[in-house]
């Protein structure tokens, strides 16, 4: 996992949840297993952001999933904490959550120029969103242990390639203090 030397403790983050939908989590055995491994960490991050009043944005892919069609494919993955009042929702049609969506505007409206990304599929939409953030002058981090993939090796590779932060490290941020 790549740790950033950049100071993050005084930055206002939004938690961006990418494509944590049934159309992805149910299509392969690898994604089902990965979801089982990482969903608790995602929910822990959601709880931390809610407890501290920090913003959360659910990004939903509009379109077909990968592989066989799944009943209620557009719904959130079973076990994921659903949006609460005040959480944002952004819809997208491509891999990069910033492309042809209003995600950057939503984040700026929330006063955030840093994001913590969780979601699926690590080697596709999650990674595309991570790199797409730089084009919008937004600094991205991956939630360590909070991304899912078709194979756990892909999770490891993405976490090695990208800057990561754990839930424990987020608690050190001045906007999360006292939790």
CATH of the domain at 67: 3.40.50.850
Q: Is position 8 within any domain?
A: no
In a domain? residue 4: no
- 25 exposed, middle or buried (CB, 10 Å; 0-12, 13-18, 19+)? buried
Q: Is the pLDDT confidence value at 68 over 60?
A: no
> Is the overall model pTM greater than 0.85, yes or no?
yes
Mean pLDDT of 114-127: 96
Tell me the percentage of the chain whose pLDDT exceeds 70.
85
Q: Tell me the mean pLDDT in the region 26-37.
A: 87
- Asked whether residue 7 is assigned to any structural domain, the reply reads no
- Domain range enclosing 87: 13-176
Mean of pLDDT values over 139-152? 97
pLDDT the model gives residue 122:
93
Q: For the residues 152-157, what does the mean pLDDT come to?
A: 97
**CA dist., res. 18 & res. 15, Å (int):** 10
Instruction: Look at residue 56 and tell me if it is in a domain.
Output: yes
69 falls within a domain:
yes
The average pLDDT across 37-57 equals 97
Query: Is residue 156 domain-resident?
Result: yes
Q: In the chain, how many domains are there?
A: 1
Mean pLDDT of the chain: 89
Please tell me the predicted confidence (pLDDT) of residue 28.
Answer: 80
Residue 71 lies in a domain: yes
Residue 166 pLDDT > 90, yes or no?
yes
Question: Diameter of the chain by CA atoms?
Answer: 45
Q: Is the dihedral of CA 37, 38, 43, 44 positive or negative?
A: positive
């Amino acid at each position: 996992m790549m740790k950033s030397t950049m100071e993050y403790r005084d930055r206002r983050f939004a938690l961006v949840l990418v494509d944590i939908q049934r159309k992805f989590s149910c299509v392969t055995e690898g994604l089902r297993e990965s979801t089982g491994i990482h969903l608790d960490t995602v929910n822990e991050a959601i709880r931390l952001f809610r407890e501290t009043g920090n913003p959360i944005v659910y990004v939903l892919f509009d379109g077909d999933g990968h592989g066989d069609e799944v009943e209620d494919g557009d719904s959130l993955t079973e076990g994921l904490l659903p949006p609460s009042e005040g959480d944002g929702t952004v819809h997208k049609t491509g891999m990069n959550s910033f492309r042809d969506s209003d995600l950057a505007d939503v984040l700026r409206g929330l006063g955030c120029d840093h994001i913590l990304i969780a979601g699926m599929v690590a080697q596709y939409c999650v990674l595309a969103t991570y790199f797409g953030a730089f084009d919008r002058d937004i600094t991205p981090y991956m939630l360590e242990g909070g991304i899912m993939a078709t194979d756990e090796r892909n999770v490891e590779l993405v976490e090695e390639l990208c800057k990561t932060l754990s839930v424990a490290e987020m608690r050190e941020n001045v906007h999360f203090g006292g939790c």
